[in-house]
Amino acid sequence: MPASHRTRHALRYLPVLPAVVLLLVFLAGPVLWAFHASLTNAGLTGRHARNPDWVGLENYQRLFQDPVFPLSLALTLLFVAGSAILGQNVLGLALAVLMRRARPVVSATVGTAVVAAWVLPEIVAAFAAYAFFSRDGTLNQLLGSVGVAGTDWLYAVPMAAVVLANVWRGTAFSMLVYRSALGGVPGELTEAAQMDGAGAWQRLALITLPVIRGSIATNLMLVTLQTLAVFTLIWVMTGGGPATGSTTLPVLAYQEAFKFGDIGYGTAVASVLILIGAVFGAVYLRLLREQRP
């Protein structure tokens, strides 16, 4: 390639520069800093606040010996699997399928209700969910009105409460994705299958889902990663408790770094979280690549 050509080629990509600079400074930089800080004993206060020592993998060793860590990891995976992969994804698909069969006015109304929870500011959604699940909240009142004794949801089953709250809050995204994906499925395909006598479930499993598998993979990736980072909802509803009953990794990282001022240890937790995000991302990217022509 002649030099002038190469220059022109490079110049064409000049407009990418602002985005690249923003991403490098505000995302890549902090990620590298996080990995670096996780290898030190940096603190918010105390002797190591301004002059942290290099401690190598000590924080990670401590992390892997900490009984809270496996628990927190399991809770995080449970939260992601329950509220994103199963909850939002499946409910979103179901809603999208139902909406194609329901009356337009019904599907528009219900669509608005579902989307409202998603559009709400996260802190408002968290307050609403807290009030819903609290001891004298809406859920227990409803149960009481049909004669069922409720329980203290945020205390007795904190993970179930935050998982349900996140399903409530996030399903709209999957629903919108699947509505548009289903809109792109050629009508002839399903009609032909119907002529051949395929039932509704068969048509869904054999025709529709394979056609939209690209959207499924993309949606799964996006909701998984959004859910992995959820902090505010859990923080407001349970604060990670009772005890460590709902301390997912973002909550643990916040507590260690900010509450206990142990920046080195907190960023070690955060680094693990970043790595988990990267693993999920890599898996879904592979899925996406495989299904491409």
Partner 1 sequence: MTTPHKRVRSTWADVVLLLVGACFLLPLLWLFLASVDPAAGHAVKVPGRPGLDNFAAVLTPELLFRPLWNSLLLSVGTGVVTLTAAVLAAYPLSRYRSRFNTPFMYGILFGTCLPITAIMVPVYGLFVQLRLLDSLPATVLFLAATSLPMAIWMTKNFMDSVPLALEEAAWVDGASRLAGLRSIVLPLMGPGLGVVFIFVFIQAWGNFFVPFVLLLSEGSQPAAVSIFSFFGQHGAVAYGQLAAFSILYSVPVLALYAVVSRGSGNALALSGAVRG
Partner 2 sequence: MVAAAAMVLAACTPADPAGGDRTIKVAYQKTDSFTALDTMFQDAKKEFEAANEGVKVDLQPIQANDDDYGTKLALALRSPSTAPDVFYEDTFKVRSDVDAGYLLNLDSRLSGWGDWDKFDAGAKEAGKADDGGTYAVPLGTDTRAIWYNKKVLGAAGIGLPWRPSSWQDILDTARKIKASQPDVVPFNMYAGKGTGEGSVMQGFYELLYGTGAGLYDPDSKKWVVGSAGFKDSLTFLHTLYAENLAVPPAEALDPNIWKKVFGEWFPKAKLGATVEGSYAPSFWQKGGNYAWPEYGQDMAVAPFPTQDGTAPGAVSMSGGWTLAVGAETKQPDLAFNFLTTALNARNSLAFTVNSSQIAVRKDVAADPGYQSGNPFVKDVSDLVAVTRYRPATSDYPRISAAVQEATEAVITGSRTPEEAAADYDAAVAGIVGGDKTIRK
Instruction: State yes or no: residue 18 binds partner 1 (CB under 8 A).
Output: yes
Which one, 217 or 237, has the nearer CB to partner 2? 237
- Per-residue three-class SS string for 181-204: HHHCCCHHHHHHHHHCCCCHHHHH
CB of 158 to partner 2, least distance (A): 10
User: Rounded to 5 degrees, what are φ and ψ at 256?
Assistant: -65, -45
Instruction: State yes or no: residue 144 binds partner 2 (CB under 8 A).
Output: no
- Bridge partners of residue 40, in order along the sequence: 54
Instruction: State yes or no: residue 261 binds partner 1 (CB under 8 A).
Output: no
CB of 91 to partner 1, least distance (A): 8
Where in 181-210 is the site for partner 2 (CB under 8 A)?
none
The alpha carbon dihedral of 132, 137, 141, 143 has a sign of: positive
Name the 3-class secondary structure at 44.
coil
Instruction: State yes or no: residue 114 binds partner 1 (CB under 8 A).
Output: yes
Q: What's the rounded Cα separation, in Å, for the pair 190 and 197?
A: 11
Please give the DSSP secondary-structure letter assigned to residue 16. G
Binding mask 20-59 for partner 2 (x = CB under 8 A): -----------------------xxxxxxxx---------
Measured between alpha carbons, how far is residue 41 from residues 32, 68, 80 in Å?
Answer: 16, 20, 30
How many residues belong to the site for partner 2 (CB under 8 A)?
Answer: 22
Which one, 207 or 228, has the nearer CB to partner 1? 228
Which one, 68 or 115, has the nearer CB to partner 2? 68
Please give the DSSP secondary-structure letter assigned to residue 51. S
The residue within the footprint of partner 1, chosen from 6, 7, 29, 243 (CB under 8 A), is 29
